[in-house]
Amino acid sequence: ADDVFGAACSALPQGSEPGGLEAMGPQPVATAASTNPLLTTLVAAVGMVDGLGDTLNSAPALTVYAPVDDAFAATQAAVGDEAFNALLADQTALGGLLSYHVSGTRYDRDSLVEAGTSTQLAGGEVTVADAGDTITLTGGDGNSATVLCGNIPTSNATVFAIDAVLMPAS
User: Is the residue at 168 inside a domain?
Assistant: no
The per-residue pLDDT for 37 is: 92
**Residues 81, 123: Cα–Cα separation, whole Å:** 27
User: Is the residue at 2 inside a domain?
Assistant: no
Spatial CB neighbours of 76, under 8 Å, sequence gap ≥ 6:
84
User: Is the residue at 90 inside a domain?
Assistant: yes
- The mean per-residue pLDDT over the stretch 96-120 comes to 97
Strands 117-119 and 125-130: antiparallel
Reported as a single tens digit per residue, the pLDDT across 140-168 is 999 999 999 999 999 999 999 999 999 99
User: Is the residue at 1 inside a domain?
Assistant: no
3-state class (DSSP) for residue 148: strand
- Total of domains in the chain: 1
User: Is the residue at 17 inside a domain?
Assistant: yes
Checking if the pLDDT of 82 tops 80, the result is yes
User: Is the residue at 170 inside a domain?
Assistant: no
Which residues form the domain of 71? 7-162
Checking if the pLDDT of 2 tops 60, the result is no
Checking if the pLDDT of 1 tops 80, the result is no
Reported as a single tens digit per residue, the pLDDT across 26-77 is 999 999 999 999 999 999 999 999 999 999 999 999 999 999 999 999 999 9
Reported as a single tens digit per residue, the pLDDT across 122-134 is 999 999 999 988 9
Contact 160, 64 (CB under 8 A): yes
Provide the CATH number for the domain around residue 33. 2.30.180.10
**Residues 79, 148: Cα–Cα separation, whole Å:** 23
User: Is the residue at 152 inside a domain?
Assistant: yes
User: Is the residue at 24 inside a domain?
Assistant: yes
Entry field: residues in the chain:
170
Checking if the pLDDT of 170 tops 60, the result is yes
